[in-house]
Amino acid sequence: MRALVGRELRLALRHPADTLSAVLFFVLVAALFPFGVGPSPELLARLAPGALLASALLAALLPLDRLFGAEAEDGSLDQLLLSGLHPAAIAAAKALGHWCTTGIPLVLATPVAAAFLNLPIEAWGVAMLSLGLASAILSVFGAAGAALTLGARRGGVLLPLLVLPLAIPAVIFGAAAIEAAASGLEARPYLLLEAAILALAAPLAPLAAGAALRGD
C-alpha cells in the first residue's frame, strides 16, 4: 500500500500539470468572486469562507474522474486487484494519493485565494486547516465516487452529482470554522466536527470504493 501511495506521488511529480491545473482553477475561481459581487472589501470578507470552500472542492473534483480511469484502461488496475492487496486498501491509497497531490497544493494556495477574497489575516491559518480537512473528506468520498462511476457513460458528469451532496456537511462546518476565526471567535468546535466527519468517512468510504472496484 505504501508502494502504491509512493507510485501515485511519483506519477504526480512527473506530470505536474494535473496538480497545477487544479491549483490554478482554485485561484481563478476565487478571483472570479470579486468580479461577480464587486470589489467591496467588507462584502468579500463576508463571502470569503464559503467561496474558498466551494472553489477548493470544485478544484479537487477536477482530477477525480481520472483517478481510476487510466489504470482501468491499461489494465494495471486489474493487476493491483490481483496483487492480494484488499480493494479497500487500494481505494484508500488512491484517496491518500489524491489528497497529497491535490489537497495539499490547494492548502498551500489558500493564502493567495484568501488574499484575493480579503479574508482577515488572522483567519488564514484556520482557513488552511479547514480546507485541508475538507479536501481530505472530498478525497475519500471522491475515491468512492470515482470507483462507482468507473466505466460509466458520462461518468465525469455523474461524479460531482454523487460526491458533492455528500460533501455538503464539510462545506457547512468548514465555512463556519473560517467565519468564526474571521470574526474572532473560537473555530475549534467546527474544526473538530469537520475532523469527526473525516474520521467517520476515512474508514467507511474506502470500503464502499473497494466493493465498487471489485464490482464485476
Partner 1 sequence: MENAPTQDAPRQPGAPTSLHRFANPGRFLRLTDNWLPWLAGAALLVLGSGVVWALLLAPPDWQQGETVRIMFVHVPMAWLAMGGYLGLAILSVMSLIWRHPLADLTARELAPVGAAVTALCLITGSLWGRPMWGTYWVWDARLTSVLVLFFLWLGHVALVRAFDDPERGARMGAILALVGVVNLPIVKFSVDWWNTLHQPASVTRLDAPAMHVDILYPLLWCTLGFSLAFAAVVLAATRAAVMERRVRALQMAAARRADAAPATLRGARA
Query: Which parts of this chain interact with partner 1 (CB under 8 A)?
Result: 144, 148-149, 151-155, 158, 161-162, 164-166, 168, 204-205, 208, 211-212, 215-216
Task: Tell me how far, at minimum, the Cβ of 207 lies from partner 1, in Å.
Answer: 9
* DSSP state string for 135-149: HHHHHHHHHHHHHHT
User: What's at 88, amino acid-wise?
Assistant: A
Other C-beta atoms closer than 10 Å to the C-beta of 37 total 13
Quick one: 24 or 157, whose CB is closer to partner 1?
157
Nearer to partner 1, 89 or 204 (CB): 204
**Residue 102 φ then ψ, to 5°:** -120, -45
| CA pair distance 117, 49, nearest whole angstrom | 9
Candidates 173, 176, 184, 91; CA nearest to 139 is 91
**Nearer CB in complex with partner 1: 20/161:** 161
Q: How far is the CB of 202 from partner 1 (least distance, A)?
A: 14
Provide, rounded to whole angstroms, the least separation between the CB of residue 17 and partner 1: 28
Nearest to partner 1 of 16, 215 (CB atom): 215
Q: Which of 60, 67, 196 is nearest to 131 (CA)?
A: 60
Q: Which is nearer to partner 1, 121 or 168 (CB)?
A: 168
Minimum distance of partner 1 from residue 104's CB (angstroms): 26
Instruction: State which amino acid sits at residue 169.
Output: P
In the block, cell 491499461 appears at 74
Identify which of residues 13 and 152 has a Cβ nearer to partner 1 in the complex.
152
Closest contact distance (angstroms) between CB of 157 and partner 1 is 8
155-174: b (≥16 Cβ within 10 Å) or e: beeebbebbbebbebbbbbb
Report the nearest approach of partner 1 to the CB of residue 162 (Å): 5
